[in-house]
Structure 1
Amino acid sequence: MERKYVYRYFNLKGRGETPRLLFAAAGVEYTDDRVEFSDWPNIKGTTPLGVLPVLEVDGQQFPESVAISRYLANEFGLDGKSNLDKLKIDVVVDLLIATRESAANMHFEQDEAKKAELLKKFHDEQIPKCFGYIEKTLSENSSGFLVGDQLTWGDLALIDLDHLLCNLGNLINLENFPKVAAHKKQIEALPQISTYLKHRPVTSH
């Protein structure tokens, strides 16, 4: 019996886009419930933690974007072929999460002097740390994928972060990371991902 999925997140990409990419990659049907901010106060109290995203699986609700992504990856066979593969994916995902949080903190900082300081630290420390590691990881894997010889949720999380950093003002220059740039092109060219990217709603973030 097929599971019934409802994925609930705001009408933007944000930290809720990787699960949508997972559904697209797997070709699995789901209800993409995009919540408008004006409707959120009426919905908030019905969610497990009062936050989005929430994945509903056969009527049961589950919060937390990374947990949701990992679950979907496990369900759809996009989680690697071994426990070592899973470890490699988790290392990359943890780096991506830290980079996403740094970018968001900088973006929403109101104090211009502090924002400039955060931007410098982001470019001098966070980008080299995260993308330097990923560049090395891709260099060691001839398939072009992050791990093994097939698509995993680590690949999807990476292109999701690439898109976010571009949307926030081109916070990364992929010319400095040619393997990451080639990876992005390879993943976006996959038929199921290409179709999704062409037809997903246009949002600012």
Structure 2
Amino acid sequence: MAKKFVYHYFNIKGRGEIPRLLFAAAGVEYTDDRIEFSDWPNIKGTTPLGALPYLEVDGQKFPESVAIARYLANEFGLAGKSNLDKLKIDVLVDQMILLRESAVTMHFEKDETKKVELMKKFKEEQLPKCFGYIEKALSENSSGFLVGDQLTWGDLALIDLDDMLHNFGNLINLDNFPKLTAHKKQIEASPQISTYLKHRPVTSH
């Protein structure tokens, strides 16, 4: 019998969008419970760690967005074909997470002087390091995917990161990363992802 999935997250993309992309890519039905911020105080105490997102699998609750994404990737055959593939994907996703955390810290920094310093470090050090590594991975893989010859959750994490950086004020110029630009077009043009992106709710983040 098919598992019953209920995914709980705020009505934004944020750090909880990759699992939704995984459900879309796999064509697996689930309940997308989008929680409004005004309702959060009444819901917080019912969550596993007092935070979102969390995933219900046949009634069992599991927190942590990356752990959820990795589980769904394995469940849906989107985690690579070998343990070495999984390692490559994990390394790439770890780099993306570090960059995402830096972008979020910078975006919400209130001190303008400190924000300028964070922006300088982000654009001159962190972003080139992360996307240079990703560009190299794409250059070494003729399929156009990050790892192997088929879609994995690493590809979905990358298009989600691209989206977030653009929402935060076009923090990346994809013209500097031609392989990444081609990758984004390839993944977003795939039928299931294209359909999902076309119909997902429009949110601020």
**Which of the five TM-score ranges fits, normalised by the shorter chain?**
over 0.9
**Alignment partner, residue 131 of structure 2:** 131
The share of aligned pairs that are identical, in percent, is 83
Residues 153-193 of structure 1, C-alpha deviation per residue, up to 9 Å, x if partnerless? 00000000000000000000000000001000000000000
Q: Return structure 1 stretches of 4+ with deviation > 2 angstroms.
A: none
**Alignment partner, residue 66 of structure 1:** 66
Residues 72-103 of structure 1, C-alpha deviation per residue, up to 9 Å, x if partnerless? 00000000000000000000000000000000
SS in 2 for 1:117: helix
Letter in 1 for 2:60: Q
**Alignment partner, residue 189 of structure 2:** 189
Residues 32-76 of structure 1, C-alpha deviation per residue, up to 9 Å, x if partnerless? 000000100110000010000000000000000000000000000
Map 1:111-190 → 2, pairs under 5 A: 111-190=111-190
**Alignment partner, residue 80 of structure 2:** 80
Shift of the alpha carbon at 1:24?
0.1
TM-align CA RMSD: 0.3
Letter in 1 for 2:87: L
Q: Distance in 1 between matches of 2:128 and 2:162?
A: 14
1:19 equivalenced with 2:28 (yes/no): no
Letter in 1 for 2:97: I
Letter in 2 for 1:82: S
TM-score (norm 1): 1.00
Letter in 2 for 1:71: Y
Q: Distance in 1 between matches of 2:48 and 2:36?
A: 18
Shift of the alpha carbon at 1:106?
0.1
**Alignment partner, residue 102 of structure 2:** 102
Q: Distance in 1 between matches of 2:101 and 2:10?
A: 18
Letter in 2 for 1:201: P
Q: Distance in 1 between matches of 2:10 and 2:196?
A: 17
Q: Distance in 1 between matches of 2:37 and 2:127?
A: 31
Q: Distance in 2 between matches of 1:97 and 1:184?
A: 18
Letter in 2 for 1:97: I
Q: Distance in 1 between matches of 2:99 and 2:200?
A: 24
Q: Distance in 2 between matches of 1:185 and 1:152?
A: 15
Shift of the alpha carbon at 1:30?
0.2
TM-score (norm 2): 1.00
Shift of the alpha carbon at 1:3?
0.2
Q: Distance in 2 between matches of 1:13 and 1:91?
A: 23
